[in-house]
């Protein structure tokens, strides 16, 4: 999954949010995600789905974070589409639990989702296309 900036992954993210890797800060990530989705004219249902999805992505990565790690979220914005990466530093090899409740919820709500482990980072990346785009709203 490699796109460029302005909605394209792989290049520089349009927005990056860095928070302490602590569950107490997930609400900030969820609120930021909702605000971006609202700016992209996502439906209220899509916005709530994204809020839940980034919460579940955080639930997957936070337990794997190295001590002193940050929770880093990248946002790639395109008309009617938002791609979000939720990452922590994790030097050890991680075996994602694809049977977990968090993964099941995440893959149900997002248009696409994947787990990426590279360069000492453990990332859950998800994309959602607004249902308003498909409906011609």
Region 125-129: what's the mean pLDDT? 96
Instruction: Indicate the pTM of the whole model.
Output: 0.87
At residue 127, does pLDDT exceed 50? yes
At residue 7, does pLDDT exceed 50? no
Tracing tokens 């909702």 back to the chain, one arrives at 34
Region 125-133: what's the mean pLDDT? 89
Q: Tokens for 100?
A: 């977990």
| Interval 48-81: pLDDT, tens | 999 999 999 999 999 999 999 999 999 999 989 9
**80, 41 Cβ separation under 8 angstroms:** yes
Mean pLDDT over each residue of the chain, to the nearest integer = 89
Give pLDDT, residue 11. 76
Give pLDDT, residue 132. 76
| Interval 9-54: pLDDT, tens | 567 899 999 999 999 999 999 999 999 999 999 999 999 999 999 9
The CATH number of 15-134 is 3.30.565.10
Q: How far apart are CA 102 and CA 55, in angstroms?
A: 9
Q: How many CB atoms lie within 10 A of CB 45?
A: 11
């Amino acid at each position: 999954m490699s796109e460029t900036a302005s909605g394209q992954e792989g290049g520089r993210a349009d927005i990056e949010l860095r928070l302490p890797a602590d569950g107490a800060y997930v609400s900030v990530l969820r609120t930021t995600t909702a605000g971006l989705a609202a700016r992209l004219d996502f439906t209220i249902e899509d916005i709530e789905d994204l809020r839940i999805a980034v919460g579940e992505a955080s639930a997957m990565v936070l337990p794997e974070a190295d001590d002193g790690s940050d929770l880093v979220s990248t946002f790639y914005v395109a008309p009617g589409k938002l791609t979000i990466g939720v990452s922590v530093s994790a030097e050890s090899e991680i075996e994602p639990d694809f049977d977990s409740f968090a993964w099941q919820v995440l893959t149900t709500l997002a248009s696409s989702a994947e787990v990426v482990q590279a360069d000492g980072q453990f990332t859950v990346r998800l994309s959602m296309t607004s249902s308003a785009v498909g409906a011609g709203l």
